[in-house]
Each structure stands twice: as structure tokens, then as C-alpha cells.
Amino acid sequence: MKRPVAFIAGTGRGIPARIMTNHDFAALGLETSHEWIVERTGIVQRHIATDAETTCSMAATAARTAMSRAGVQPGEIDAIILSTATADRLLPSTAVDLQAELGATRAAAFDLSAACSGWIYAMTVAEGLMQSGVIETALVVGSEKMSSIVDWQDRSTCVLFGDGAGAVILKRNEAHSTRGILSAFMRSDGTLAELLWRPSGGAKAPFSQAVLDDRSSYVRMAGRGTFRHAVRSMSEACDRALDGARLRGDDIDILIPHQANVRIIEATAKYANIPMSKVYVNVDRYGNTSSASIPIALDEAIESGRVKGGTTALLVAFGAGFTWGSMVVRF
Ligand code: ACO
């Protein structure tokens, strides 16, 4: 096992106060029910941002808590990597807005696009920058205003998602430390891009009246196909991260999976031979917050004492692309 180059020094989350329950969909005229949503997904409620709450503002709330817990000042941050599928605008990045908001004057700031796996990708990139000696301290954020890109007329997708942000301060380790990222794995398959996508609104099919009329700038998903690939890919990702850390499922104290659907989580845990008692689940309260879901769950798990010094955690994600990834972290 390699010496861990980077460790998590602090975590935080930024969650909109407004809650939308499954019952609230009736007011939108959608033919759905609390029972259907809970049975298929495990989701009971999700947080929905107001117009004033942005991907940047949620990220800033999460970042400030993470920085304060890590004892890191804005001027000490060398890189801000913000994973998002819901950038506040297309140019420049939301990461530079976050940099300006925090006053992190010497940071290199950029967005990373890997959908729900984005935060795992961003952590792996930050660790690599530490390994190569380019940076010492990184702010790694997943922030998503999914409510701005889902089709509120499409019951098969809009019930699944929620808004929020999670952040960590990642720091380069002192020599001989045994805490930190023990292994990481990333993979993609772009041949499956159209199973979960926004067909229009980018440079290839820019916004137009036709795009607005056919609602093709909103998220579209083939639910069954996505489900199948999610289980297969997250299972592979668990294996690969465990192999990389020379560990087995039994050695893991807590599994923190991407929170998309409790049935996907249960199938992944079963495959990895990790009992549900060791799995962190909050999809019931947040829905799918895309790349924010793992750092939000990690922050809650630390706050509640389920993750503490000595804990070995397996983090695993899957998302549009398709992309998938995982890491083992010792705290
Ligand atoms: N309420 C009531 N009925 C609904 C709803 C709803 N909200 N949505 C769909 N239905 C209906 C469908 O129209 C369909 O009706 P039909 O049989 O008359 O055609 C029926 O329910 C069954 O639909 P399926 O899509 O086959 O239902 P399924 O059991 O596959 O569950 C779900 C759908 C929950 C979306 C599931 O496929 C799933 O969770 N897929 C993975 C989604 C996911 O996790 N995506 C994110 C991962 S990647 C990322 O995080 C970006």
C-alpha cells in the first residue's frame, strides 16, 4: 500500500433550508405518489434552493465550515476544484466565483465535470497535484443546484434530485502519516452518454426557441439502464479501491456511497460484502444531490461520530457519462 499523500483536514456542507416532500409534487400536477417514490428510490424529501441560493453560495457555505474546521485561512488555499453539473453560468467557472467569494487570492480555481462522480474525480486530481508537488492545500467541493436543470414536468426524473453542497479541505501529509487517501479509482464509458444527459443547451445545440419548446435542455434519463450500469460499475469500483488499498470488505468501517437510490446502495453494499449497518444513507432526506452527495454524507458522518480518527471509509460514486470512481480513506 502506498503512503497516503493527502488527508482530509476538515469538512462542511451547505444545504438550502427549503424542504420539498414527496407529497408536494401533487401541487405541481404530477401523477406520482409518496408511496411510489419511497418504494422505488427510498427518497422522502429533498432540499430545494431558492432563486437567491446558487451553486456558488451553497459551495461557499460548505467551504467556510470546512476551512474553519481545518484551521485553514483563505490565503492558504493553493487550488479550488469545484465539481458541478450545474455551473451558475457557462463562462467563466463557478470555482472562480467561489474563489472571489472566499478571498482565496492565491488559489488556482477550476470546475470539474464528471456528473455524480465529480467529487471523487476532483479529490483524485487534488491528490495528484499534491503528489507532484504543485500544491499543498486544496478546497475540493461538490455543489449542485439540480432543481435548475431537471424537468419539473417529467415525473420520472424530477422526483429524484435535490440541491446542496459538500466541501473538504485536503492537505498534503507529513511523512510517515498513515491517515489519508489509501487508494483511488476512476473510470468512464462515453458510449453510454445518452442514457443520462441534457441533449441541448451547450455549444452543439445552443439555446433557441425550439430547445425551450421541446424541453431538451433538461435532464433526461433512461432509468432502468442507468440503474443496471450503476450497480455493476459501483461494484467494480468497490473492488478496485479495496484492491488498491490491499483491504477487503471486512476491513471497512463505513461505506459512503453516492446517494441516488437506496436500492442501488443496497446492491452495492451486498456486492462489497459490507452489511447495511456499516453503510451511510441519507438519500431519504436529500434525494440525489449529484456530486455533492458524498461530501454531504461524509460531513454528516463525521458530525455524528460515525467517522472519527482511525475509521477506514470506502467512498464510491456513479454518474452521467457514465463515470464511476471510488477511494479508500483512513481518518
Ligand atoms: N411516479 C409514479 N410513477 C412513475 C414515476 C413517478 N415519479 N416515474 C415513473 N413512473 C412510472 C413509469 O411511467 C412506468 O409506468 P409504465 O409501466 O406505465 O410505463 C413505471 O412507473 C415504471 O417505470 P420504471 O422507470 O420502469 O421504474 P423503475 O422501477 O425502473 O424505477 C427509477 C425508476 C426510480 C428511476 C429507477 O429506474 C432508478 O432509480 N434508476 C436509476 C436512477 C439513478 O439512480 N440515477 C442517478 C444515478 S447517476 C446520477 O446520480 C446522476
230 in contact with ligand 1, CB cutoff 6 A: yes
pLDDT value of residue 1: 62
Q: 138 — phi, psi (to 5°)?
A: -130, 145
Residue 292 belongs to domain with CATH number = 3.40.47.10
Q: Which domain, by its residues, includes 214?
A: 180-330
User: Rounded to the nearest whole angstrom, what is the distance from the C-alpha of residue 262 to the centroid of ligand 1?
Assistant: 13
At residue 3 the predicted structure's pLDDT band, cuts being 50, 70 and 90, is: confident
Report CA-CA distances (Å) from 102 to 50, 77, 138, 150, 165: 21, 10, 13, 29, 15
197 in contact with ligand 1, CB cutoff 6 A: no
pLDDT value of residue 210: 96
234 in contact with ligand 1, CB cutoff 6 A: no
Whether 157 and 250 map to the same domain: the answer is no
Whether 74 and 146 map to the same domain: the answer is yes
Q: Cα torsion for 238, 285, 152, 57, to the nearest 10°?
A: -90
pLDDT over 90 at 12, yes or no: yes
The helix (H) or strand (E) run that includes residue 75 is none
Show the 3-state SS of 270-309. Answer: HHCCCCHHHECCCHHHHCECHHHHHHHHHHHHHHCCCCCC
Domain C-terminal end among 142, 172, 202: 172
The whole-model pTM stands at 0.97
Domain C-terminal end among 115, 144, 172: 172
User: Rounded to the nearest whole angstrom, what is the distance from the C-alpha of residue 146 to the centroid of ligand 1?
Assistant: 17
At residue 310 the predicted structure's pLDDT band, cuts being 50, 70 and 90, is: very high
pLDDT over 90 at 212, yes or no: yes
Tell whether omega for the bond before 318 is within 30 degrees of 0, i.e. cis.
no
Whether 160 and 187 map to the same domain: the answer is no
18, part of any domain: yes
261 in contact with ligand 1, CB cutoff 6 A: yes
* Total structural domains within the chain: 2
How large is the average pLDDT for residues 55-76?
A: 98
User: Rounded to the nearest whole angstrom, what is the distance from the C-alpha of residue 6 to the centroid of ligand 1?
Assistant: 39
pLDDT value of residue 272: 87
Residue nearest to atom 13 of ligand 1 (CA): 156
pLDDT value of residue 193: 97
The helix (H) or strand (E) run that includes residue 258 is none
**What are 270-284's pLDDT values in tens digits?**
998 899 999 999 999
262 in contact with ligand 1, CB cutoff 6 A: no
How large is the average pLDDT for residues 180-188?
A: 98
**What are 22-33's pLDDT values in tens digits?**
999 988 999 999
User: Rounded to the nearest whole angstrom, what is the distance from the C-alpha of residue 329 to the centroid of ligand 1?
Assistant: 33
DSSP state of 3: P
How large is the average pLDDT for residues 128-146?
A: 98
Residue nearest to atom 5 of ligand 1 (CA): 156
Domain C-terminal end among 172, 194, 214: 172
